Amino acid sequence: MTDPKAQAMAVLQKNHLRVTKQRKTLIDLLVANPDRYVSVTEVDKHMRQAFPGASHNTVYRNLEEFQEIGLVELSSQSGGMVVKYRCDESHHHHFICQRCGRVQEIQLPTIDWDFLTQQLPGAEITGHSFELYGLCAQCRQLASH
C-alpha cells in the first residue's frame, strides 16, 4: 500500500501545486486522522500555531484546492465545516459516530438516476451526499454501561 503522505505529494505535483511547508503540515494533520473528520476550526488553529503568519483565508483556500484535486472531502455538519483526508479516488459514503467522530466507509446499492431525474423535470443533478449518523459499536457499548 502506498504511503498516504507520499501519495498526497504526488497528487499535488501532478496538479501543478507547489509542495510548501504549510501544505506538508496540513497534509500531515489530515493523514494523521484517517478515520475522522477534523473541524476546519481545528485545522485553522493547528496551522496558525505552526505558522503564526498564516491567515484563515490561506488555510481555507488550501483546503478548497485540496478538495478540487480530490485530496480531501469537505462537509458541513451541525458544528460547522469539517474536512477529511480522502483515502481513495472512488465515490463512497460514510457512517459518522456522533460521540467519537469516527468515520466508517459504507457501500450503497447503485443509485437509479433515471428514477431521480424523472422526479425533477428540467433539473440538473450535479452531485450528492449520503451520510449516516449514530453511535459506533464501541461508543454504543460504552453508553450501555
| Residues making up the binding site for Zn(2+) | 97, 100, 136, 139
The answer to whether 3 and 32 have CB atoms below 8 angstroms apart is: no
Three cell numbers, residue 63: 483546503
Binding residues for Fe cation: 91, 128
Give the integer Cα–Cα distance in Å for 144 and 36.
Answer: 23
Q: Which residue has the cell 504549510?
A: 22
Question: What is the DSSP annotation of 58-112?
Answer: HHHHHHHHHHHTTSEEEEEETTEEEEEE--SSS--EEEEETTT-BEEEE--PPP-
Binding-site positions: 91, 97, 100, 128, 136, 139
| Rounded-to-integer distance, Cα 16 and Cα 12, Å | 6
Which grid cell sits at 73? 472531502
